[in-house]
């Protein structure tokens, strides 16, 4: 069984204190709900601590896990919204309220394929440099740059269409 020593705990607690507020804030902006943000951030830390001794870059691991959990949340809430619409013909509105300035871009980011969404969130939102994003996702830096360019082009095009 993996050992979790006192020094590991101290380091983990220090990382938690240092990273949790920003990670949870990052997630909140993506899911627009404090409770869900806490759930996702706590789950990311749980997975991190469960694999603590085998990780070289805990912070990167945290954000990759959180990105995947956010994706799962979006998929789940998307299914729920579709189900609600199906049973309630009168309800034509999105039952989840979002800040107006965020909802369009966020909805469009949700629609990006995983291949583009992951590097987009890690680079543009979490603030990791391209080199780190490439390492996190196991892709060449050139591929990450191309993915980011493609993601931005798609978002701009979609934003343009939505405003016409």
Q: Which residues bind another protein (CB under 8 A)?
A: 1-2, 4-10, 12-14, 16-22, 24-29, 34, 37-38, 41-42, 45-50, 52, 59, 101-102, 104-105, 124-125, 127, 152, 155-157, 159-160, 163-164
Our CB check for another protein shows the closer of 10 and 97 to be: 10
Give the nearest distance from C-beta 79 to another protein in angstroms: 25
Give the nearest distance from C-beta 2 to another protein in angstroms: 6
Our CB check for another protein shows the closer of 92 and 101 to be: 101
Taking the CA atoms of 125, 129, 130 and 134 in sequence, report the sign of the dihedral they define.
Answer: negative
d(CA 29, CA 4): 33
Which residues, in sequence order, are CB contacts of 17 under 8 Å at separation 6+? none
Give the nearest distance from C-beta 30 to another protein in angstroms: 10
Q: How far is CA 137 from CA 45, 62, 79, 145, in A?
A: 19, 13, 27, 12
Query: In the chain, which ranges are continuous DSSP H helix?
Result: 6-31, 34-50, 58-87, 100-111, 114-120, 130-137, 141-163
Give the nearest distance from C-beta 109 to another protein in angstroms: 9
DSSP state of 93: S
Calculate helix-pair angle for 130-137, 58-87, nearest 10 degrees: 70
Our CB check for another protein shows the closer of 19 and 70 to be: 19
Our CB check for another protein shows the closer of 41 and 133 to be: 41
Give the nearest distance from C-beta 101 to another protein in angstroms: 7
């Amino acid at each position: 069984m993996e050992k979790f020593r006192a020094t590991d705990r101290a380091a983990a607690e220090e990382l938690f204190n240092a990273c949790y507020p920003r990670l949870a804030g990052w997630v909140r902006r993506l899911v627009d709900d404090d409770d869900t943000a806490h759930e996702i951030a706590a789950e990311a830390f749980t997975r991190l601590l469960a694999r603590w001794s085998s990780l070289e870059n805990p912070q990167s691991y945290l954000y990759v896990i959180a990105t995947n959990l956010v994706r799962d949340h979006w998929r789940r809430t998307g299914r729920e919204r579709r189900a609600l619409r199906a049973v309630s013909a009168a309800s034509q509105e999105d039952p989840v309220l979002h800040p107006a300035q965020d909802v369009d871009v966020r909805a469009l980011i949700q629609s990006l394929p995983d291949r583009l969404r992951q590097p987009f969130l890690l680079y543009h939102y979490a603030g990791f440099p391209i080199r780190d994003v490439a390492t996190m996702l196991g892709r060449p830096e050139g591929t990450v740059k191309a993915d980011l360019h493609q993601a931005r082009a798609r978002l701009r095009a979609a934003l343009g269409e939505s405003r016409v």
